[in-house]
A and B are shown apart, each in its own frame.
Chain A
Amino acid sequence: MANKRIDEPTGIETVGHEWDGIEELNNPLPRWWVTTFWLCVVFSIGYMVVYPAIPLLKSGTEGMWGWSSRGQLAAEMDKAATERKPVLDAIAATSLDAILADPKMLDQAKAGGKAAFKQNCVQCHGAGAAGGIGYPNLKDADWLWGGSAQDIEFTITHGIRSPGVDTTRTSLMPSFGKDGVLQGGQIADVTSYVRSLSGKAPNDAAAQRGAAVFAANCVACHGTDGKGLRQFGAPNLADGVWLYGGSQEQVSASISKAHAGVMPAWAGKLDAVTIKMLAVYVHSLGGGEKFQAAAPAAAAPPADGTGNAKP
């Protein structure tokens, strides 16, 4: 059916098809091209034998070499873990102070901590570590239980009010309204007083009445000046940071029905090196305290925090 003929001007045979008078010359391919083509065919057969290739009903052929993308991933993860091991070992063997003093190790620990933070901490503290109502902002310089790397490491390890953990940091603020310790007017007065400590409310008559209530009920934990006590995790009431909000209603609600935020103890969930790196990372977010300055304080809370924390 094909009408092959020799094309007059070129002397080359046509392929035998014709479209509206246009014909195609059957110019032969160079031999090296054809050779390459057949080599590719041969290669593909070998490829199908040694690699997974043919889909079957439930799975597919596995190939003689037993390669799989999962296997490759596992091998790569193992390799990465092997490569990371010396770094992690060095961090494990180095004290927090020494890590903070060594720029290279500090970078490594921050990077490791950042990765762990994204997996384990952002659910409450937020991707930028800024927290939210009820979840502390880790970027500022306000710390409930201490802001040195050692304090942070202890907090992460043992948690805060973590159920079933003996060593957890714990304290309890009474629910002054719910438990009937204070009456409605007293709560309003003491709220005004607390807010006046940071200049959020005027130091008016209500606030002055509240000062007496504060002195009778609150100074044991929050201190006479309202600046809090870290060994009890009692927040500083005289600063600009409000974990549960700083409006009249919010502060009043916190006094009536106390909050008791919980952070799990991570000791059993994360290994010690990861926790150490997390502490370094959180410490580096802009509010970290120098350990030199905090040295006496830092030695105290672990000792106190375990047993004496309950007011």
Chain B
Amino acid sequence: MLNPDQKSVSASLYAKRKAVFPKAVDGRFRRFKWLVMALTLGVYYITPWLRWDRGPYAPNQAVLVDLAHRRFYMFGIEIWPQEFYFVAGLLIMAGIGLFVITSAVGRAWCGYSCPQTVWTDLFQHVDRLVDGDRNAQQRLENAPWGAQKIFKRALKWSIYLAISFWTGGAWIMYFADAPTLTVDFWTGQADPVAYATVGVLTATTFIFGGFMREQVCIYMCPWPRIQTAMLDEKSLIVTYKDWRGEPRGSAKKKEKNPGGIGDCVDCNQCVNVCPTGYDIRNGPDIACITCALCIDACDSVMTQLGRPRGLIDYATLEDCKIEREGGEPRPISKALFHTRTLIYVGVWASIGFALLFALGARKHIDISVQKDRNPPYTTEPSGEVRNDYTVKLLNMEGRPRPMRVSLEGLKGGLMWTDDMPRDKAAAMIDVQVPADQVEPLRVYVIAPGTTAPQKIRFNLVATDKEGGGDMSEVRFDAPEENAEGGNQ
């Protein structure tokens, strides 16, 4: 389709953005979009304010990314930095989840739940609230700057800014105790990072949601490019059924010539409601985010004309082919559950189960031992051999726990720490490990001078009634000449 307008633009280095004024529309997909918007915005704004009691030693915010103390709390789950693979696993699941969605229902992420889509949708409703619907918006855009336009623009941009600020403000609540941070924020006590983050996110929301809108999808976002590679003839996409619609003509023309004119009356409602300003009748395109608002618009026109709905509808290329050749449309479930989707679901679910299993099986107590390597050992005045270790005891429970470290596999081996007198050296040490912390110990291990170099074990047991334990095997160095015939 040759567009004569584009010839004049083509010589230029740049293209002016063609402002999009999407018309309000009602219908089943619009109502579904309302629902998704309420859900996603609700989850985003409310989650940090949910409380979750974890006892006196841990924060009581249900979802908290505590960067300062390196803990990630999510309801009953607490993740330590070394367990970051849970987060990585969730991110992989989110990625494969997008594959599942794309394979089953095409670009549904783009059309319904992408933050860019949700916030753009929200801002477009602000446009309608302040400026009126499509025609009024266009009139105001073209009107000269006067008192009314200045007032309306100032009002609209203020609302944009308020929403943007609220959006940026909600983000930081995930990283600190929300009520405390709110008070700190307004009294100037919060960390500069908090203000900077709110500033940046306010700016990006304001610019991306208020002004760039569909340009983000068409020019900036990589996801549409990736998705075009992931869509195939089995993917559900928004389709204009040209075999039914073409050639276009008014209802009057069709009355005169019922066979020669298609169902499309060329009313342009599908283009008017499109949030990216695309004409779906030109076929699938990167600009179509499959929000399905054109389906709602076309359906209402078809209903008024007394024609069957679905001139524009979700369909797969396979179905299109069948329908074009006069076959019966297949039920939508056939399009949803095809092999590729099921494979994705399988991969997605197995990662999920693996994570759940790892979560259930993980230990809440851990010992790690690092040996000093320079020098490997020290000979004491008594002739005994000494090795030095840094021992870390992990208590992942939300309460202090008594633990016992014992030395195994070293004949005559004794140990003491920095915190105790050397003459109290023993084969086991009792330590009270604070709640939800790593307790580092400097441990000196001493053994008779004839001891051979060997492996030894540090055993850790919790001595409260819940129990549990862990162990770590490390090297004990001694003079090489002890290796043969020494005390093994």
Q: Are B379 and A30 in contact (CB under 8 A)?
A: no
B180 within 8 A of A: no
B82 within 8 A of A: no
A65 within 8 A of B: no
Q: Are A140 and B7 in contact (CB under 8 A)?
A: no
Q: Which of B267-275, B303-311, B335-343, B383-391 is found at the contact surface with chain A?
A: B383-391
Task: Give residues 420-435 of B contacting A (CB, 8 Å).
Answer: 421-422
Chain A residues within an 8 Å CB radius of B66: none
Q: Are B375 and A128 in contact (CB under 8 A)?
A: yes
Q: Which of B12-20, B107-115, B229-237, B345-353 is found at the contact surface with chain A?
A: B12-20
Q: Are B15 and A241 in contact (CB under 8 A)?
A: no
Given A30-B14, A31-B17, decide whether A130 and B374 contact each other with a Cβ distance below 8 A.
yes
Q: Return the CB mask of A35-59 against B: 1 if under 8 Å, else 0.
A: 0000000000000000000000000
Task: Give residues 164-220 of B contacting A (CB, 8 Å).
Answer: 212, 215, 219
- B: interface residue count bin: 35 or more
Given A11-B4, A11-B6, A33-B219, decide whether A141 and B14 contact each other with a Cβ distance below 8 A.
no
Chain A residues within an 8 Å CB radius of B384: 240
Cα A199 to Cα B450 with chains together (Å): 13
Cα A281 to Cα B16 with chains together (Å): 69
- Output the nearest chain A residue to B385 by Cβ-Cβ distance: A240
Cα A140 to Cα B380 with chains together (Å): 5
B143 within 8 A of A: no
Cβ distance B348 to chain A, nearest Cβ, rounded Å: 36
A114 within 8 A of B: no
Cβ distance B72 to chain A, nearest Cβ, rounded Å: 28
Q: Are B11 and A126 in contact (CB under 8 A)?
A: no
Q: Are B380 and A142 in contact (CB under 8 A)?
A: yes
Cβ distance B447 to chain A, nearest Cβ, rounded Å: 13
A29 touches which of B15, B372, B449 (Cβ 8 Å)? B15
Total A-B Cβ pairs within 8 A: 93
A179 within 8 A of B: no
Give how many A residues have a beta carbon under 8 Å from the other chain's beta carbons.
33
A290 within 8 A of B: yes
Q: Are B2 and A241 in contact (CB under 8 A)?
A: no
A137 touches which of B219, B378, B444 (Cβ 8 Å)? B378
- Output the nearest chain B residue to A127 by Cβ-Cβ distance: B374
Q: Are A286 and B15 in contact (CB under 8 A)?
A: no
Cβ distance A237 to chain B, nearest Cβ, rounded Å: 11
Q: Return the CB mask of A7-33 against B: 1 if under 8 Å, else 0.
A: 011111100000000000010111111
Given A32-B17, A290-B421, decide whether A139 and B10 contact each other with a Cβ distance below 8 A.
no
Q: Are A286 and B378 in contact (CB under 8 A)?
A: yes
B333 within 8 A of A: no
Cα A290 to Cα B374 with chains together (Å): 25
Given A130-B378, A142-B380, A240-B379, decide whether A30 and B3 contact each other with a Cβ distance below 8 A.
no
Q: Return the CB mask of B336-376 against A: 1 if under 8 Å, else 0.
A: 00000000000000000000000000000000000011110
Cα A137 to Cα B372 with chains together (Å): 15
Task: Give residues 371-427 of B contacting A (CB, 8 Å).
Answer: 372-375, 378-384, 386, 388, 418, 421-422
B94 within 8 A of A: no
Given A8-B2, A11-B6, decide whether A32 and B378 contact each other with a Cβ distance below 8 A.
no
B418 touches which of A34, A141, A284 (Cβ 8 Å)? A284
Q: Are B383 and A240 in contact (CB under 8 A)?
A: yes
Given A240-B384, A241-B379, decide whether A31 and B418 contact each other with a Cβ distance below 8 A.
no
Q: Are A140 and B14 in contact (CB under 8 A)?
A: no
B9 within 8 A of A: yes
Chain A residues within an 8 Å CB radius of B13: 28-29, 34
A236 within 8 A of B: yes
Q: Are A32 and B388 in contact (CB under 8 A)?
A: no
Cα A286 to Cα B381 with chains together (Å): 13
Q: Are B219 and A30 in contact (CB under 8 A)?
A: yes
Chain B residues within an 8 Å CB radius of A30: 14-15, 17, 215, 219
Cβ distance A36 to chain B, nearest Cβ, rounded Å: 11
Given A31-B17, A33-B219, decide whether A11 and B2 contact each other with a Cβ distance below 8 A.
yes
- Output the nearest chain A residue to B379 by Cβ-Cβ distance: A240
A239 within 8 A of B: yes
Cα A140 to Cα B378 with chains together (Å): 6
A181 within 8 A of B: no
Task: Give residues 218-245 of A contacting B (CB, 8 Å).
Answer: 236, 239-241
Q: Are A12 and B10 in contact (CB under 8 A)?
A: yes
Chain B residues within an 8 Å CB radius of A9: 2
Cβ distance A1 to chain B, nearest Cβ, rounded Å: 17
Chain B residues within an 8 Å CB radius of A10: 2, 6
Cβ distance A246 to chain B, nearest Cβ, rounded Å: 10
B449 touches which of A11, A13, A240 (Cβ 8 Å)? A240
Given contacts A11-B1, A12-B10, A141-B422, 17 further A-B contacts (CB under 8 A): A8-B2, A10-B2, A11-B3, A11-B6, A11-B7, A28-B14, A28-B15, A29-B13, A128-B372, A139-B386, A199-B383, A240-B379, A240-B380, A240-B384, A240-B449, A286-B386, A286-B388
23 A-B interface contacts by CB (under 8 A): A6-B7, A11-B1, A11-B2, A13-B7, A13-B10, A28-B14, A29-B14, A30-B15, A31-B15, A33-B219, A130-B375, A137-B379, A139-B375, A139-B388, A141-B422, A142-B381, A239-B381, A240-B379, A240-B381, A240-B383, A240-B449, A241-B380, A284-B418
